[in-house]
Amino acid sequence: MSQVLDIERYDLNIKSNNSSHHTELCKEERLIVRRGQPFNVSLHLKAGSKKFKPSETSFTLTVETGPRPRKESGTKVCFGLHDSTVDTEWSASATNDPSGNTVSVTINSSPNAPIGLYSLTVDQEGQKTTLGRFTLLFNAWCPRDAVYMRSEMKRQEYVLAQHGQVFRGTYKRIKGTPWNFGQFGPGILDICLKILDKNPKFVSDADQDCSARRNPIYVTRVLSAMINSNDDHGVLVGNWGKVTDGVRPGQWIGSGDILRQWAESGPVRYGQCWVFAAVACTGRTTSCSPPSSSVPWLVVTNFGSAHDSNANLMIENLYDEDGERIPGRDSIWNFHVWVDSWMTRPDLGEEFDGWQTSDPTPQEKSEGVYCCGPASLRAIKEGELTKKYDAPFIFAEVNADVVDLVRKSNGQLVKIGGSPKSVGQFISTKAVGSNERLDITHEYKYPEGSKEERQVYEKAQHHNKLQQRGEEPELRLKIKLADNMIVGSDFEVCAVFTNSSKQTKTCNFLFVAKAVDYNGKLGEKCGSASDKVEVPSGEERRLCLRLKYDSYMSVITSDRLINLSAVTVDKQSNDYHKAEKTIVLDEPVIKIKLVREAKVNQSGMAELSLLNPLPELLQDCSFTIDGVGLTDGKPITLRIGTVGPKREAKASVELSPSITGPSVLLVNFDSDKLRNIKSFINVMVNE
């Protein structure tokens, strides 16, 4: 019979284990380890009891996860002591310390174990002692893990970074918006685990779901569905219209508030694509979004992002004979934001390992649920659209061709233009180790118009005829913008029609300005002009619009976007020309100044200011501030009332630095007329 140890107490060695497993940023007193990597537990024996002798003492360790753990599903594993641990499965070894009163047990988890919350028990000849609970995460540091990433700099950025940049605007004016992922904040780890436990697959078969959590592909897909609330009481409700009963999507500056609200009271109102993506990226803590799962994730913005509603890999814009747009289901978003995650794809083949795109914004259903991905970037780039999951939809988002059609009164469709290059531009993410924008368009597709890109498109859409590329057109229509277009000012834009043919051209000339949402949905008109023009050979004609503050401010959204559309129509010759451009109005700048040096556990002070550029009063003005280790774990809102035209909004905020090292202070300004103005500064907290 084996010797039974008389255990007085045990120690999970939380501080040292968490440090070696890169989870020490989670300040909670709990053991958080990564799979495929050893951790140590100390068993303290009662004074005077028999010492541990490897040759005479043996015990079994049991780890269990989920509400109904089973050996058959791998949610319950029993393993004994060996001379040393192995890195391919659950294993353990033990040694005596010099005093003989402490047994150090080294446990190595399987690199293929399900992630989640575990219990740990030691069994000595039927005498069981519960040693506690621990959380197991994916491990980007373990070569045998499906999410292994070689570069330490990239692991720091894509797994551990608590701040990021979400790029928004238009491809002509790209602006980074700061975001606080806050994956190591109080309670976030448990909330991310709760998200997994609330998904319908867990409710249907908890053990099967927990077992499947060994696979980052599965976890990514579950999170893609659970970040939106369309099918499953997930985290966020989407809203692309007027907000009357919740938080406007542009007001959020971090994930922590959203996740805590969901944990307390269910789906949070409201989000749009960048909010869905950023919250998903915070999910990495435990599951497959950065902190929650520790799968490497990054936030990606696609400018000129197509929404192909009928899966023909083309965006068809319809117009009537007068050049007015006919609403349809196809659309091109000014920008769209999703997430990429790093993992192997044994279901597709090793050539499809690496970055995978998934999208938690509810757009179309996939296998009956509002989710999207993960789809291999390699599959998207090469047009391999039979590869799981949702590759055709994502391919169209970055590489659909655009066709402009006029519907004649007899129903005939006449092609008036289009572009193979306007979709999928300046695909962007935050650069490793800096706040600069990194262009990753080449990861998704070959250079636009190149032989490789056209071959891929032809392979992806072999059933559609490729558009013809002609020579330089004889008639050209383009839109010219003013140099300064700051919100609050009046400015002029012009449509220019050039006739390079040998004949005089006569046509109707229409130029319209409309408000537009970032997802491409047109709003109300804020300016228009029309004329019948005669353009001799070699000459040009201009049609200009004076866009006045009084006309556009009441119709534009908080994204400050205006769509300009110019059309020339010659009905006799069926000759149509079109030019379109979306402009984003410049916003005022928030100035942030640290009054005194930030030191840990000493109050700091920051001064904030913003000049009101509008010719009228701003009401309900406020600054909201957030920063990991700077604001006591939650955002601070400072309400400052009204600010007159061309006057400054000012505020001071007291900071509470609690963690040494680099951090980021995020600031959002909000009011009744100017919304979602954001800025940030880097802060170094010293001892």
Contact 165, 177 (CB under 8 A): yes
Q: What b/e sequence results for 139-158 when a residue is b if at least 16 CB atoms lie within 10 Å of its CB, and e otherwise?
A: bbbbeebbbbbeeeebbebb
Is residue 294 within 8 A of residue 261, CB to CB? The reply is: no
How far is 441 from 428, CA to CA, in rounded Å? 7
Q: Are 493 and 507 in contact (CB under 8 A)?
A: no
Instruction: Provide the b/e sequence for 498-513 (b: ≥16 CB within 10 Å).
Output: bbeeeeebebebbbbb
Measured CA to CA in angstroms, residue 95 lies from 42, 83, 133 at distances of 10, 9, 22
Per the CB < 8 A criterion, the answer to whether 657 and 605 are in contact is no
Residue-by-residue DSSP string for 185-215: STTHHHHHHHHHHTSHHHHH-HHHHHHHTT-
Please count the residues of the chain: 687
Three-state SS string over 500-521 comes to CCCCCEEEEEEEEEEEECCCCC
Distances (CA, A) of 667 to 132, 217, 330, 592, 679: 41, 35, 36, 8, 5
Cα-based angle 653, 656, 658 (whole degrees, multiple of 5): 155
E-assigned strand segments in 66-115: 76-80, 91-96, 102-108
Give the integer Cα–Cα distance in Å for 98 and 11: 17
Nearest of 302, 611, 608 to residue 441 by alpha carbon: 302
Nearest in space to 569 (alpha carbons), one of 417, 402, 412: 417
Which residues are catalytic, by number?
273, 336, 359
Dihedral sign, Cα of residue 282, residue 286, residue 289, residue 291: positive
> Based on the number of CB atoms within 10 Å of its own CB, is 48 exposed (0-12), middle (13-18) or buried (19 or more)?
exposed
Name 665's Cβ contacts closer than 8 Å, sequence gap at least 6.
592, 606, 625, 626, 627, 630, 655, 680, 681, 683
Dist CA 266 CA 383 (whole Å): 39
Sheet holding 60-65, edge to edge: 31-34, 127-137, 116-124, 60-65, 76-80
Q: Give the pairing of strands 268-271 and 236-238.
A: parallel
